[in-house]
Amino acid sequence: MMNRRKEMFLLAGLAVLLVAVFLYYRNPGSVVRGVLAADGKFQPIDVQEPHLRVDLLENLRKLEYSGAHRNIFVEGPAPISPSETKRADTNLAYGPKRPPPPPPVQVPAEFFGTATMRSSGEKLAFFKDGDDVLVVQQGSIFLNGYRLIHIGNDSADVEEISSGRHATVPMVQPETAEQQPPQN
């Protein structure tokens, strides 16, 4: 009995929905006409013979662009006119000038070779400081102010401890006996 009652309510709801849809879509033009007529202010333009306004088109053709001319197919900034250059010169920054950047790090030793320890596999770098030969392990400090960061095949990366700046020291070929000048 309960299922029969649910079916009746469902059927009645569908019938009401069907009537609402029918009334809504029955005459769609009447809604638009009713809105326009209700306002009363709408009046169509009375144009007997519409003509193309050629005089306005001629004014547009005679108009010349006075802005910056730039070729959009060329990469880079647009060329600067002399008037813009003068205007840019008047807008110079005032105040103290910035100091120049610090000079590059100079390591006072020559990097001339590498080796790998068999027992641990750690790399060593050989630096020459005058007549002294320094054997430096990767990560170690040498010459009281430089740390060896990385050892490459043909260069060594060194950090100046006081400033934290880095430098790459290229490997130099040691002089052979034939290239050395004779000693007196």
Q: Is 105 helix (H, G, I), strand (E, B) or coil?
A: coil
Per-residue DSSP letter, 119: T
Q: Is 6 helix (H, G, I), strand (E, B) or coil?
A: helix
For the chain, the structural domain boundaries read 2-33, 110-170
| pTM exceeds 0.85 for this model | no
Per-residue DSSP letter, 114: E
Per-residue model confidence as pLDDT tens digits over 113-137: 999 989 988 999 999 998 899 999 9
pLDDT for residue 29: 54
DSSP track, 20-58: HHHHHHS-HHHHHHHHHHHH--------SS----HHHHH
Per-residue model confidence as pLDDT tens digits over 51-73: 788 888 888 888 887 776 777 78
- Span 110-170: which CATH code? 2.30.30
Confidence of residue 158 (pLDDT cuts 50, 70, 90): very high
**Longest CA–CA separation in the chain, Å:** 129
Matching residue, tokens 């108009």 = 63
